[in-house]
Amino acid sequence: MKRSFIRRLSGLALAGLLVALAFIQPVTAQTPVPGGHFRRALSSDPANLDPAQTNTVRAISVKMNIFDSLLRLNPRTLELEPGAAEAWTVSSDNKTMTFRLRRGIRFHNGREMVAEDVKYTIERILTPENASPFIRSYDRIAGAQEFVAKRATSVGGIHVLDRYRLQITNSVVDSTFPLTFSDLFIVPREEVERLGREFGQRPVGSGPFVFVSWSRDDSILLRSHANYWEGRPLVSALEFRIIPDPATAQAEFDTGRLDFMLLGDTNYRRYADDPKWKPYVVEVSELFTRHLGFNTTMKPLDDVRVRQAINHAIDKATMVRTILQGKAITAVGPLPPSINAFSPALRGYDYNPQRARELLAQAGYPNGFELELHGSSSPVIGRWLEGFQRYLADVGIRGKIVQQDFGVMLDRAGKAEIPTWTLSHGGGPNCVNYLGPFRSRNFGAPGNRMRYKNDRVDTLIDEAERTFSTQRQVQLCREAERLIVADAPWFFFNYNKAVLVHQPNVHGLVGNPVEMDYQPMHKVWIQPRR
Amino acid sequence: MSGIWKFIARRLLLAVPVFIGVTLVTFVLMHIVPGDPVALQMEEKMATIDPTAARLIRAKWGLDDPAPIQYVKFLRNALRGDLGISYRTDRSVLRSIVERVPATAKLAGAALLIAICIGVSMGVVAALRQNSALDSLSIMLATIGVSMPNFWLGLLLIYLLAVNLRWLPPSGYGPAYPYLIMPAITLGAGLSAVIARLTRSSMLEVIRQDYIRTARAKGLAERSVIYLHAFRNALVPVVTVIGITMAILIGGAVVTEIVFNIPGLGRLIISAILRRDYPVVQGVVLLTAAAYMLINLMVDVVYASIDPRIRYA
């Protein structure tokens, strides 16, 4: 009897243990576990990891893990938040920003980051010999032009107040100015000087990961920074594998050799519709607007009615559903839904071939005309152009598809040599920057390839640039967007939906509308596989 | 100086105008093709291109010089062994090329080895069993091998051997086993088919020669007739083709390197062309031309050791 009692007791204990485990399991699945080697893909080699040099998506995806930026952009709210600077203020005249650095931020060489490092980082970008593509972001700081022209040895508008505080004065009132500090990756002077040109190949920062090695076109290996101010990252190693072919990346993911991958139009449905993978698919409306740009100085596109007709002629909803496999959102104007100035009230152009024909007739083209539809040589763009061609034929426009090297197309569009071009425009989280290509001061290669000019739009964007009131800025951008949509310098096609799929044991990845590749990896963790 | 050394010296001297011609053609082509390297470098995340930054970048890379001056500067530096700095990576072009050579060389070498082993043995067997089922099979395999695009064969192998069977890693660069097997087969398949067809026809031609009949009449064993007399002579045109197809291998390596994610010269030049990274394009073209000339020279020298009748005047 005693034995039977013990047996029953053991049975009960076992059952209790199983029940307890069943309850514990979901909790442990959400409890971050340190350790593990995280592998992710990049579509091409980042070329250079010097914060003053390359501005490609790939380079920034790596750099953001090696360096600390002065401020950060919250991927969920697109609001600025503390980075290396724990606090900042803007003066009453909206020109001067005062930053207070965190104490105890350590570069990977062990030295503490101080305000002088921030000043050095900005002045390095402005040094003409460095030919930084980021120079524009800081050249309106007071005294920057003198520094660039070598009439001054330091930038007058940057004042180091003490070890941890510095003040930066802009020469103009520019509401987008604070945003530039979310891209300012701070570098340690002694390492830049020690390594010279090699700094871009063996970077030293203060970020959550420390550079270990870089095998060109193969992989970049980082390890966790033990003294990171936000605490040691959860994964102990972070590897970026350079995989240019999407089919190969998919094979690597399917065999468990990548912890996440970005999805394209061709493989989006395969994962998004599969119940096994669906819970691990992360989607976000990206800050990119795909469009067909119009050269507004070339006949017949110089007539607004013709441009409006094209906008009415193409059934973008069907194209998004079929050609893009639903991995996009139909566009109504230039501003995408993730940006705060997106206007839900804006209707844009509906699919209305009858209206398109009427507009063409009014413009003097009742029988349509021939139009070259230019795009890069990518097969994806080819499919879009075929779609455009098909719909335009219905209203009498005889589209001729011209696919060429991306650089060739960009160059020819910049020089106004071609009537149309297919591009994806990304302008970041602020509407003023986003609407940059519609400002007449940016004619040609600087962005306004359409040669579009509307004085009212210029005035509205200028005013939006000067206002620090978010509400007012949104209002001004919306009004500018309304006028742009009416003038139709683009065929507003779609906003890209950025999608990634991750392995079931990966946690902490976020949908970043600025760029899906920009993943703050220090909060990502891997559940060990059983 | 013996004949062969004179021959080598003359060929090396001839290399100088070839190098100048190759670099000049590349330079002119790269500058004729539209596409601004500065705009391509800046466009990606910038809503608009900043003219000040563009001007500074142009000055840094000497792109504001007239084109002839740019070319002369390139030649002058190349003569000193300096191929310049990549616009894209800010690194020495020579260093970028040198570190890519092992990956491409390993891939091309392994593919060549596979192609020779499969191609020569298939060709010899097909010739010796002319008009048999084995011969027809070799013709069929050769046709398939030649017709199949590299990337397609590569993807098929990845899905079969890596994704479904999990025998090999899908891609990557590492030890020859397991990383080089699929890329080498992918790249070597087409070439093995060419070699097989050529070996077959060359063998058929040789075994009909009088000296083969003489060898047989002397009572030599068939194996000796085939391997010592026929095979060696049949190899001369095969070696020529192997030399020429090294060029095809390096060209084909571009696609194979992309599919299998191998950090070789092919990927370097593709990204350089797309981004108009002129110094890298020039550097790779120059060194590739040198490699071709060296291979051709080696092929010519190898002729003499295979066929004693060949002399260098």
Residue A182 contacts B, CB cutoff 8 Å: no
Q: How far is B192 from chain A, CA to nearest CA, in Å?
A: 25
**Inter-chain contact A405–B33, Cβ cutoff 8 Å?**
yes
ipTM exceeds 0.85: no
Give the phi and the psi of residue B190 in degrees, each rounded to 5.
-60, -45
- Which residues from chain A sit within 8 angstroms of residue B34, using beta carbons? 407-408, 411-412
* 3-state DSSP helix/strand/coil % of chain A, to nearest 5: 35, 20, 40
- Which residues from chain B sit within 8 angstroms of residue A515, using beta carbons? 45
Q: Scanning every residue of chain B, which has its alpha carbon at the shortest distance from the alpha carbon of A134? A: B53
Closest C-alpha among A154, A122, A107, A127 to residue A51 = A122
**Inter-chain contact A245–B259, Cβ cutoff 8 Å?**
yes
Closest C-alpha among A159, A416, A218, A406 to residue A299 = A416
- Which residues from chain B sit within 8 angstroms of residue A136, using beta carbons? 50, 52-53
Question: Between the CA of residue A129 and those of A123, A173, B61, B83, what are the distances in Å?
Answer: 11, 28, 10, 20
Q: How far is A173 from chain B, CA to nearest CA, in Å?
A: 19
Residues in chain B: 313
**Inter-chain contact A216–B159, Cβ cutoff 8 Å?**
no
CA B261/CA A245 separation, integer angstroms: 8
**Inter-chain contact A426–B263, Cβ cutoff 8 Å?**
no
Arithmetic mean of pLDDT over chain A:
91
**Inter-chain contact A216–B155, Cβ cutoff 8 Å?**
no
Question: Is residue A55 packed enough to be buried (19+ CB in 10 Å), middle (13-18) or exposed (0-12)?
Answer: buried
Q: What is the DSSP letter of A276?
A: T
Question: Between the CA of residue A458 and those of A483, A506, B27, B232, what are the distances in Å?
Answer: 11, 46, 42, 79
- Which residues from chain B sit within 8 angstroms of residue A218, using beta carbons? 172-173, 261-263
Question: pTM of the entire structure?
Answer: 0.85
Nearest to A215 among B40, B49, B263 (CB): B263
**Inter-chain contact B173–A44, Cβ cutoff 8 Å?**
no
Nearest to B47 among A257, A414, A427 (CB): A427
Nearest to A426 among B45, B50, B172 (CB): B45
> What are residue A282's DSSP bridge partners?
A500
pLDDT digits (tens, 9 = 90+) for B223-237: 888 888 888 888 888
CA A181/CA A177 separation, integer angstroms: 8
- Which residues from chain A sit within 8 angstroms of residue B271, using beta carbons? 44-45
H or E element that contains A98: strand A96-101
- Which residues from chain A sit within 8 angstroms of residue B46, using beta carbons? 55, 133, 447
Q: For residue B263, say if its preceding peptide bond is cis, omega within 30 degrees of 0.
A: no
Structure tokens at A269: 């449905």
Give the phi and the psi of residue A375 in degrees, each rounded to 5.
-160, 170
pLDDT digits (tens, 9 = 90+) for B196-252: 989 999 999 988 889 889 988 988 888 888 888 888 888 888 887 887 777 677 766
CA A394/CA A105 separation, integer angstroms: 62
Closest C-alpha among A430, A388, A436, A437 to residue A410 = A437
Report, in angstroms and rounded to the nearest whole number, the Rg of chain A calculated over CA atoms: 26
Residue A13 contacts B, CB cutoff 8 Å: no
A vs B, Cβ pairs < 8 A, gives 165
CA triple B89-B91-B93, angle to 5 deg: 105
Question: Is residue B178 packed enough to be buried (19+ CB in 10 Å), middle (13-18) or exposed (0-12)?
Answer: middle
Find the largest Cα–Cα distance for chain B. 85
**Could you tell me which residues come within 8 angstroms of residue A460 by beta carbon, excluding any fewer than 6 positions away?**
A476, A477, A479, A480, A483
Closest C-alpha among B75, B73, B84 to residue B19 = B75
Contact between A414 and A367 under an 8 Å Cβ cutoff? The reply is no
Q: How far is A139 from chain B, CA to nearest CA, in Å?
A: 9
CA A40/CA A503 separation, integer angstroms: 11
Question: Between the CA of residue A380 and those of A285, A323, A349, A400, A425, what are the distances in Å?
Answer: 19, 9, 24, 17, 16
Report CA B123 to chain centroid distance, whole Å: 22
Q: Scanning every residue of chain A, which has its alpha carbon at the shortest distance from the alpha carbon of B59? A: A131
Q: What is the DSSP letter of A153?
A: S
- Which residues from chain B sit within 8 angstroms of residue A55, using beta carbons? 42, 44-46
Q: How far is A28 from chain B, CA to nearest CA, in Å?
A: 31
Give the 3-state secondary structure of residue A393.
helix
Closest C-alpha among A357, A418, A363, A365 to residue A391 = A357
Q: State the amino acid at position B139 in one-letter form.
A: I
Arithmetic mean of pLDDT over chain B:
85
Closest C-alpha among A505, A42, A64, A440 to residue A280 = A505
Contact between A228 and A208 under an 8 Å Cβ cutoff? The reply is yes
What's the pLDDT score for residue A389? Answer: 97
- Which residues from chain A sit within 8 angstroms of residue B99, using beta carbons? 216
Nearest to B42 among A133, A247, A257 (CB): A133
Sequence-ordered alpha helix ranges (H) in A240-329:
246-254, 265-272, 304-313, 316-322
A417 Rama class: left (phi>0) / alpha (psi -120 to 50) / beta: alpha
- Which residues from chain B sit within 8 angstroms of residue A217, using beta carbons? 100, 263-264, 267-268
- Name residue, tokens 């209002």: A475
**Inter-chain contact B263–A216, Cβ cutoff 8 Å?**
yes
Nearest to A437 among B35, B48, B262 (CB): B48
- Name residue, tokens 């009572």: B219
What's the pLDDT score for residue A127? Answer: 94
Mutate which of A217, A253, A270, A465 to test chain B, going by most B C-beta atoms within 10 A?
A: A217
DSSP B232-301: HHHHHHHHHHHHHHHHHHHHHHHHHHHHTT--SHHHHHHHHHHTT-HHHHHHHHHHHHHHHHHHHHHHHH
Closest C-alpha among A295, A393, A283, A374 to residue A328 = A283
Q: Is the pLDDT of residue B43 over 60?
A: no
CA A154/CA A171 separation, integer angstroms: 15
Q: How far is A442 from chain B, CA to nearest CA, in Å?
A: 7
pLDDT tens for each residue of chain A, 530 residues long:
445 544 554 555 555 444 444 444 444 457 888 889 999 999 989 889 999 987 788 899 999 999 999 999 998 889 999 999 999 999 999 999 999 999 999 999 999 999 999 999 999 999 999 888 888 889 899 999 999 999 999 999 999 999 999 999 999 999 999 999 999 999 999 999 999 999 999 999 999 999 999 999 999 999 999 999 999 999 999 999 999 989 999 999 999 999 999 999 889 999 999 999 999 999 999 999 999 999 999 999 999 999 999 999 999 999 999 999 999 999 999 999 999 999 999 999 999 999 999 999 999 999 999 999 999 988 889 999 999 999 999 999 999 999 998 888 888 999 999 999 999 998 889 999 999 999 999 998 788 999 999 999 999 999 999 999 999 999 999 999 999 999 999 999 999 999 999 999 999 999 999 999 999 899 899 988 75
